[in-house]
Structure 1
Amino acid sequence: MERVPHRLPPLAALRLFEAAGRHASFAGAAGELGVTPSAVSHAVRTLEDRLGLPLFRRDARTLALTPAGEELLAEATRAFEGLTRVMDRLDGARHQAGLRVSAAPTFAARWLVPRLPRLRRDHPGLTVAISSEQGWVELGDGRYDFAIRMAREPSGAGEWQHLSDIRLVPVAAPRFAGQALAAVLARLPTLHVTSTQEDWDAWAAARGAPPPDRARGLRFDTVHMAVDAAAQGLGVALARLPVCAEDLAAGRVVALDEPVQAGVAYWLVARPGALRQAEGRTFVAWLRRELAGEPVPA
């Protein structure tokens, strides 16, 4: 059955009338809502003209509701109170959950989580819930406010902001420090990441070298697992900067070559409206400051 459209009065005028009815004063309503008494009077007159009924009895000193005004005031107050309760509940739930951020696993584990103590110190009132997922997430379904993803360029819905270009560098266990890359590769297999198989090809193209043999070496589904395996001497991993910068700074692994551009970048993707909220702006500003800073000390 087709629904009949709601026959509503002008809602701005109804809001001014409701305040005037509660205060029994145009001036009181004007003070509450930050408008002039004449604006309240005009809004009430608009409703009266629409209904063809007086809503107030006016004389030089008093303002009293008519029976029609009392009936409309009761319904309007219930409606506005109900809307206020719903808005407060939804807003409270949003603030309780905090900002919801989906980040690629290596970015979350190696870069974002080590910096959360600084986020709490700098912004103690800001709560962030982090989820790590390999695949794309839909920002319009209400689950996330932001996603941090790797891409060559913006694509899809949401508001995209460039965070950092990605650079690639071969790394191995600390005992191989100072040794030539070719010498280490002669002794160790390369380690591969199934979700980023293009990284070794991109590195090889930038260096003008043939890509390594994918048939040799262990395979992992995240970059940070491959870097951990390299730290154990199991092979040569291709680390991503800036997210693996702390592994190098702390000496967990050593670089065997200069970093090269991967041709992709980390992007911040925001759901519509997230960047207009104070919490969203605060988080993004902090994120950019951290990316521009130094690695977290060991």
Structure 2
Amino acid sequence: MAHKLPPLSALRMFEAAGRCGGFTAAASELGVTPSAVSHGVRALEDALGVPLFHRDQRGMRLTPAGETLLREATRAFEGLSRCVEALTGPRAGRRLTGSVAPTFATRWLMPRLPDLRRRHPSLDLSISTEREHVEIGDGRFDFAIRMASAPAGPAEWHRLVSVRLVPVAAADCRLTLSEALARLPAIHVTAAGEDWASWAALRGLPPPDPSRGLRFDTIQLALDAAAQGLGLALARLPVCADDIAAGRVHALDAPIEGGTAYWLVTRPGLLRQRQGRQLAAWLREQLDGETLAA
């Protein structure tokens, strides 16, 4: 018996639009223009003879027929995806490309990637640490991990963990916090949203002299400088937690929560897909465990 189906390309565009919540998000996921998605959905409605979306001043909403078709189409496409993966092997899935800050990538992510690979061998990642501004969903990047005080931009922002600040010095430093602030130069991170002035305000202390000390554009370089006895660095947890635990640097105070957090920034709809859900769940589990242990 022949299967009576509408054009599959149009059905795929409808499924993405319904699942992602709009034509623009669906276009980003599929790598086409919003106009192409709109035309595809309209062609599907014409082929079926029923409206799938309400279009009015309040925006777009699925009709009852659209809700029914979306449920069944999503189930069918997910089943096909699982079947293709089973036939072609777990490594045949689409690679996720991410933009990650250099310190987070080297200090936190890299040591934990073996665990991610063991638990999700089909999750294929490509990581970039370039410093230039990137637009998530522009076709180059599926996700980013960013330190920020609040969401910014049209991508989907998912809070992972608060950033905690703690002054650190070389491992052999035996000075108290007040002694270290008086004797050692503060090492500054020029690219960080929160630095010594923010920490000092949170602690109710005068900030270190901003005219003294080395300046770097990454937390990683500032931490390495402190480990070599070149001054005090302001470590950010959780990314610097391993350095403190391993004794590479010595913490001079208890960590204090700042005003920023690490966020998983994704293209629209990524967390509705299996690979996106796996990545987000693993990140949250790893970071929640470190927060509880601290």
TM-score range normalised by the length of the shorter chain: 0.5 to 0.7
Q: CA 1:197 to 1:292, structure 2 compared with 1: closer, same or farther past 3 Å? A: closer
Aligned to 1:235: 231
CA spacing shift, 1:153–1:14, aligned 2, 3 Å: closer
Note the C-alpha offset of 1:166.
Answer: 0.5
* 1:87-111 deviations in Å (ceiling 9; x for gaps): x9xxx9x956611111112111111
Superposed, which structure 2 residues align to 1:269-288 within 5 Å?
A: 269-288=265-284
Aligned partner letter, 2:241? A
| Cα 1:197/1:286, change in 2 over 3 Å | closer
1:207 is aligned with what amino acid? R
Q: Deviations over 1:171-193 (max 9, x none)?
A: 0011114x311212333211011
Q: CA deviation at 1:241?
A: 0.5
1:6-54: CA deviations, max 9, x gaps? Answer: xxxxx94567xxxxxxxxxxxxxxxxxxxxxxxxxxxxxx99xxxxxxx
Amino acid at match of 2:145: I
Aligned to 1:218: 214
Relative to 1, partners in 2 of residues 1:207 and 1:294: Cα closer, same or farther, differing over 3 Å? closer
Within the candidate set 233, 250, 257, 2:246 is matched to 250
* Whole-angstrom distance in 1 between the partners of 2:126 and 2:235: 26
Residue 188 of structure 1, aligned match among 180, 184, 187: 184
Determine the C-alpha separation between the residues in 1 that align with 2:144 and 2:264.
6
Distance apart, 1:285 and its partner CA:
0.8
1:125 to 115, 122, 126: 122
Confirm whether residue 157 of structure 1 aligns to residue 167 of structure 2: no
Runs of 5+ in structure 1 lacking a partner?
A: 1-10, 16-45, 48-87
Pick the aligned partner of 1:170 from 167, 172, 175: 167
Which secondary structure state, in structure 1, belongs to the residue aligned with residue 210 of structure 2?
Answer: coil
Distance 1:108 1:207, change over 3 A: same
In structure 2, the CA distance between the partners of 1:233 and 1:97, relative to structure 1 (3 Å rule), is farther
Indicate the RMSD between aligned Cα atoms, in angstroms.
2.6
For residues 189 and 213 of structure 2, what CA distance do their matches in structure 1 show? 11
CA distance in 1, matches of 2:193, 2:104: 17
- Say which of 95, 102, 105 aligns to 1:105: 102
Q: TM-score, normalised by structure 2?
A: 0.66
* Runs of 4+ more than 6 Å apart: none
SS at match of 1:139: coil
Hey, what's the Cα distance between the residues in 2 that align with 1:14 and 1:164?
Answer: 44
Structure showing greater Rg: 1
Per-residue CA deviations over 1:152-176 (Å, capped at 9, x if unaligned) read: 1112111111000001000001111
Task: Report the counterpart of residue 78 of structure 1 in structure 2.
Answer: none
1:259 aligns with 2:255: yes
Cα distance between partner residues in 2 of 1:248 and 1:259: 11
How far apart, in 1, do the equivalents of 2:6 and 2:97 lie?
37
Q: 1:144 and 1:181, CA in 2 relative to 1: closer, same or farther beyond 3 A? A: same
Between the two proteins, what is the percent identity of the paired residues? 60
Alignment-derived partner of residue 111 in structure 2 = 114
Residue pair 1:199, 1:262 contacting (<8 A) in 2 also:
no
8 Å Cα contact 1:192/1:218 also seen in 2: yes
Write out per-residue CA displacement over residues 259-290 of structure 1, whole angstroms, 9 at most, x where no aligned residue. Answer: 11211111111101211211111111111111
Distance in structure 1 (CA, Å) of the matches to 2:190 and 2:252: 22
Q: Which runs of 5+ in 2 are unaligned?
A: 9-45, 48-83
Q: CA 1:14–1:184 in 2, change beyond 3 Å: closer, same or farther?
A: closer
Q: TM-score, normalised by structure 1?
A: 0.65
Cα distance in 1 for residues equivalent to 2:153 and 2:7: 41
Check the 8 A contact 1:97/1:129 in 2, yes or no.
no
Change in CA separation of 1:276 and 1:190 when aligned onto 2, cut-off 3 Å:
same
